[in-house]
Structure 1
Amino acid sequence: MLRRATVADADALAGVARATFEETFGTLYSAADLATFLEQHNARDWAAEVADPAFAVLVVELGHTLVGYVKLGPPRLPFTPKTNAIELRQFYLLKPWQGSGLGPRMMDWALDEARTRGVAEIYLSVFIDNERARRFYVKYGFKDVGKYAFMVGNHADQDIVMRKTL
């Protein structure tokens, strides 16, 4: 089931955020850098964002277990939007559910939510070596517009910034 997150989901969102990042990227970083980064995914911060109308969070819940989420929010990437914009800040689904058809449903929600908010552009960033994610975003019409250093602790990764005009 796909549904809007509530503040009551904050603990589960924090857990899924940590789990999806670790399973996707955990082997790329030192334990210290990974721990520093994962501290950002805490229930207190999730609760604040879910309660903030500037954000929109969708959860993917199977049974009573969260297995993925999408988060839209105010742009914070190092770019200058040409028009009113929103950022697709996070888009994660645990590996057992990747390829299940949930990803397209999640993206459809994100694009519909952005349009409902009246924005003209949606931005995201993706790790340069995450080919699967990059192909997924290109399929939805996102185009590369630049690169930036994404920090995981003290480790700088190269991410690609992508934009889609709505």
Structure 2
Amino acid sequence: MTDLAPPPAITYRDARTIDGPALSAMARRSFTETFGTLYRQSDLAAFLDEAFGANGLPSQLSDPDFAVRLALEGDKIIGFVKMGPVTFPGEWRPDAIELYQFYILGPWQGQGVAQTLMDWALEHSRAHGAKEIILSVYVDNHRAHRFYERYGFRDIGRYAFRVGETVDDDNLMRLVL
């Protein structure tokens, strides 16, 4: 009989510039697993390159306007949340912050990772003087809607989210802190 080592504990830390390639790979995997069947391959590839290529998420790790918190099992990134200035069209309060991306790989969903990352996002927002958090979520991502609603986020409108040439309907949601 062999002794099986327990899985490594999940740890959390702020992302560093050196995490760029691994974080990009994880984000691409998570988005593709969740939404990949909704898009033509060319649209998906264009979106992944724009959002997670060298000029996307990895470049924001050294930008002081953005904060990214990682969830890791051992040295493997299994989830992250990214916060920064609001970029949605329209007029927003100067003390608003945007929750850009909130991704957890499938095997770790339902394991408390999302709650820990959301707790950090709320704490980060308050510590930086934010009075509200704005985010968008795909209209048919019911699991995400339920998660955000449990924290008090409410729908405030629609947003056209572009994936390549495809335009999806997203719900804009707001949480007043």
| TM tier relative to shorter chain | over 0.9
Per the TM alignment, residue 45 of structure 1 is displaced from its structure 2 partner at its CA by 3.2
Could you tell me how far apart the structure 1 residues matched to 2:80 and 2:18 are? 14
Aligned to 1:136: 147
Aligned to 2:33: 23
Aligned to 2:114: 103
Q: Could you tell me whether the CA contact under 8 Å between 1:83 and 1:121 is conserved in 2? A: no
Cα shift readout 1:26-49 (whole Å, capped 9, x = no counterpart): 000000100000102124533321
The structure 2 residue matched to 1:59, chosen from 55, 65, 70, is: 70
* Length, aligned pairs only: 166
The structure 2 residue matched to 1:91, chosen from 74, 92, 102, is: 102
Query: RMSD over aligned Cα, in angstroms?
Result: 1.0
TM-score, normalised to structure 1, is 0.97
Q: Could you tell me whether the CA contact under 8 Å between 2:13 and 2:70 is conserved in 1? A: yes
TM-score, normalised to structure 2, is 0.91
User: Equivalences for 1:1-166 in 2 at 5 Å?
Assistant: 1-40=11-50, 41-166=52-177
Larger Rg: 2
Q: Secondary structure at the match of 2:59?
A: helix
* Deviation larger for 151-160 or 76-85: 76-85
Structure 2: segments with no counterpart, 5+ residues: 1-10
Per the TM alignment, residue 90 of structure 1 is displaced from its structure 2 partner at its CA by 0.2
Q: Could you tell me whether the CA contact under 8 Å between 1:13 and 1:43 is conserved in 2? A: no
Q: Secondary structure at the match of 2:56?
A: helix
Identity %: 48
| Counterpart residue type for residue 165 of structure 2 | N
* Deviation larger for 73-82 or 58-67: 73-82
Structure 1: segments with no counterpart, 5+ residues: none
Cα shift readout 1:137-165 (whole Å, capped 9, x = no counterpart): 00000000000110000001000000011
Could you tell me how far apart the structure 1 residues matched to 2:165 and 2:153 are? 29
